[in-house]
Amino acid sequence: MFTVGIIGRPNVGKSTLFNRIAGRRIAIVDDMPGVTRDRIEYIAEWQGKKFKILDTCGYDLREDLLKKEMLKQFYASLDESDFFIFLVDGKEGVHPLDEIVCNILREKEKPFILAVNKIDNEKSEANVLEFYALGVDEIIPISATHGKNIDELLDKIAENVVEDDEIDA
Ligand code: GDP
């Protein structure tokens, strides 16, 4: 099944977004980074398209934390997904790791949509602009906690879904 991975640094709000999409609290949400240790998946249906959403573990490619296992999991999740929601933190701004991950996604020719999270109100909307420095054409500002623009994000994913019967045909 067409698989959509949610990817991003620890604490950007991956689990919150996943729960928002799944509509129920089945992943663990915590203030401490790195809580999502195992992947959790959910089959979503939107605009008549079915796809699997994976809440993958957060990547952390900092030199001091370059753990073999973590990297292995990160690359495995890359291979597993057909499309990515690349989630970044609109409160914190662009992080050097965001650029690294953006480059890996491009190298691997993995399509993704950049979603800037924690855009809870009008005042924080200005924070979105700096993320264009990552070289993307389009950004979806969202608030996972307030449920803002989640429909637009799902629309975007549905547009990109290639269903199995289309692949077989
Ligand atoms: P993960 O590590 O990427 O899975 O991040 P979590 O989903 O556990 O969220 C990390 C923290 O960010 C939690 O305290 C969430 O409540 C908070 N958070 C997530 N989404 C939003 C959002 O849209 N707005 C704000 N203000 N906080 C958020």
Read off the pLDDT of residues 89-123 as tens digits, 9 standing for 90 and up: 999 999 988 888 898 889 889 999 999 999 999 99
Q: State how many domains the chain has.
A: 1
- Whole-model pTM? 0.87
Region 65-71: mean pLDDT is: 58
CA of 17 to the centre of ligand 1 (A): 8
Assess: ipTM above 0.90: yes
Whether the CB of 145 sits within 6 Å of ligand 1: yes
First to last CA, the chain: 15
Location of structure tokens 């689990």: 15
Q: Which residue has the higher pLDDT, 143 or 33?
A: 143
Let me know: does 55 contact 7? Beta carbons within 8 Å.
Answer: no
Let me know: does 61 contact 95? Beta carbons within 8 Å.
Answer: no
* pLDDT at 64 (0 to 100): 47
CATH number at residue 83: 3.40.50.300
Let me know: does 117 contact 144? Beta carbons within 8 Å.
Answer: yes
Domain residue limits at 32? 3-168
- Which residues are annotated as part of the binding site for GTP? 8-15, 55-59, 117-120
* pLDDT at 63 (0 to 100): 47
Strand partners, 40: 55
